[in-house]
Chain A
Amino acid sequence: MSATLLDTWYMTRRQLVVFARQPAYAVITLIQPVIWLFLFGSLFRKVVELGGFGTTSYLDYLVPGVVVMSALSSNMWAGMGTLEEIQRGTLNRFLTTPVSRAALMNGNVVNNGLVTALQSVVIVLLGLLGGADYPGGIGGVTVLVVASVLLGTVFGALSNALGMLVRERESIIGINTFLLLPLTFLSSAFMAPSQTPSWMRHIADFNPLDWAMVAGRSAMSAHPDWGDVLGRGGALLGLAVAAVWLSIRTFRSYQRSV
């Protein structure tokens, strides 16, 4: 077990180094949310006047939406990295060493989680700079960050599984482009649920993206509904475990197909 932990640390650190050494990539991951935050923030500023947002400042409402959306959009591409490691021969090189097989997958999950957490915190801080108010305090923000990490884990693991399964970039690009906007707009990311058509609300109930937002927003509000937070958070956790399990299964089948 300790060997697995140690190997997981080596694998995580290796990927963190890659993240840190590609400043362009790191900056883009962090700048994109800023654009969303201030673009949508200005564009829809007046929308709060419709009511149902639970705040008088649209930025307050928007921050959790952008945090969760960014968690989704950055983790969706995890499979590209895995694919590159397969094609470069890196994965096979590791597989011929005694490294813990679990650590190879864990490294991805932990690394993605850390990057997502960092990204989420930066967005929250930028929101604060822009004048957003978080009545739920540190506790509320922590719930939001955890929820976005869980959501990121779900889509990171699925993307990895897809990468190992189809082994072509085009499929990952296609699926991601197809999923990102519908998943985002069929949720309460930008619009209060009470202002959306009822069919959209019903779909949103099944959208993990929406679970993360509902949990985060509730915890960050002045009067959190902890039932909502735990319910959605628990569902996300369950989904994350299932997705990681699936990616481990796919990894095993990859090993058999080498």
Chain B
Amino acid sequence: MNTRAPAVQARQLVKTYPGDVTALNGLDVTVEPGTVFGLLGPNGAGKSTTVKILTTLARADSGSATVAGHDVLRHPDRVRRAIGVVAQNSGADPVATGRENLELQGRLYGVRGRTLTARVDELLERFALTEAARRQVKGYSGGMRRRLDLALGLVHRPDVLFLDEPTTGLDPEARTAMWDEIARLAGHEGLTILLTTHYLEEADRLADRIAIVDRGRVVVEGTPDGLKGELRGDAVHVELRETLGDSGRALLQGALGTVPGVHEVLFDGRRVSVRADDGAACVPALLGALERAGAGVASATVARPSLDDVYLRYAGRRYSEAEAPGADALVLAGGAR
């Protein structure tokens, strides 16, 4: 196989579920071999549907996709041999032991005999499950189960590994441990990883490249630093005492836009996000402008750009609000192109 060919390529994927729910609306994704690619977005953005299509579980209504060079529709069996999948509910058999789960998984890929035993031993050790290997999975902690899920996805040494929300539901400690595991995998044997997450921090920490998915399409793609770098300067977040009407917003937009060093003013409920060359330096001028405009300020913070800011900029909503169903945010982009 040509190593320069993308490990995953999806073009214009569309998927509608019964009841006219559009899960994907023309999604494009390209993942280079040997990299970690993060699909980032709130629940319901279409990340899991994308993974289901790429792992041959679901069929797209239209569009095409190849994984490890094989077309998911024409050669699903070749795709299945080349991929490992760790789904949100990976479904290890609770009554079977960790070792039995791994052995069965290996057998389904045609790994047998001594090769299988050696591979299972290796994985058990690598994921610190050797001691628990002979115990039934129902007695495992959440973190242990997740590590077993990862091992299940790796038994047959796949070329491409899909991780669908790998740390959802884990406590912070287990999450950090999982991040370390994934980071270690990433540098390994040219494995390509496509991971979905709704944690900004997770994508920032693990992924070489990120695509932000919103309402079934990719709204922006790039490296975490590149995306943050596109937002010039610092973010100043001001929390107002009350939500403004349209006219109040327009008024503030004008007032704040004239403060020296300010590029961009975004409104989002009671929050005003200002992008400025030197955030700390322009805070006094900003607060002055707000006071003159008669807007009461509850708090003001200065921050380096985060993926949350990237999300607000490209998806038009603040990340936490996209997570909450029915949330609505209005954006008046001053300096934005």
Query: Contact residues of A with B, CB < 8 Å?
Result: 7, 10, 14, 17-18, 21-22, 85, 87-99, 255-258
Contacts and interface: CB of A to CB of B under 8 A. Distances in A.
Given A14-B93, A92-B57, 7 more contacts: A17-B100, A22-B95, A92-B89, A96-B85, A97-B105, A256-B58, A256-B59
A89 B80 contact: no
8 nearest A-B pairs in the assembled complex, by CB-CB distance: A89-B89, A89-B91, A90-B91, A88-B91, A96-B85, A97-B108, A99-B108, A98-B80
Contacts of B52: 258
A11 B43 CA distance: 33
B255 interface: no
A21 B95 contact: yes
A87 B110 CA distance: 26
Interface residues of B, number: 31
17 contacts: A10-B104, A14-B96, A17-B96, A18-B93, A18-B96, A85-B91, A89-B89, A91-B91, A93-B87, A95-B57, A96-B83, A97-B105, A98-B77, A98-B110, A99-B108, A256-B58, A258-B52
Contacts of A255: 57
A258 B109 contact: no
B109 A97 contact: yes
Contacts of B270: none
Contact of A10 (B59, B91, B107): B107
Contacts of B25: none
B108 A10 contact: yes
A177 B152 CA distance: 38
Contacts of A18: 93, 95-96
Most buried by B among A10, A89, A95, A97: A97
Nearest to A14: B104
B81 to A, nearest CB: 5
A17 B95 contact: yes
Nearest to A10: B107
Contacts of A85: 91
B30 interface: no
Given A14-B96, A17-B95, A21-B136, A96 B55 contact: yes
Contacts of A257: 18
A242 to B, nearest CB: 27
B35 interface: no
B96 A92 contact: no
A89 to B, nearest CB: 3
B109 A93 contact: no
B16 interface: no
Contacts of A14: 93, 96, 104
B64 interface: no
B253 interface: no
Contact of A93 (B18, B83, B90): B90
A7 B95 CA distance: 19
A85 B96 CA distance: 13
Interface string B36-50: 000000000000000
B57 A96 contact: yes
A14 B87 CA distance: 21
Contacts of B306: none
A143 B221 CA distance: 67
Nearest to A94: B108
Contacts of A91: 91
B88 interface: yes
Interface string B47-77: 0000010011111000000000000000001
B105 to A, nearest CB: 7
Nearest to A21: B95
A21 B94 CA distance: 11
A21 B96 CA distance: 9
Contacts of B83: 96
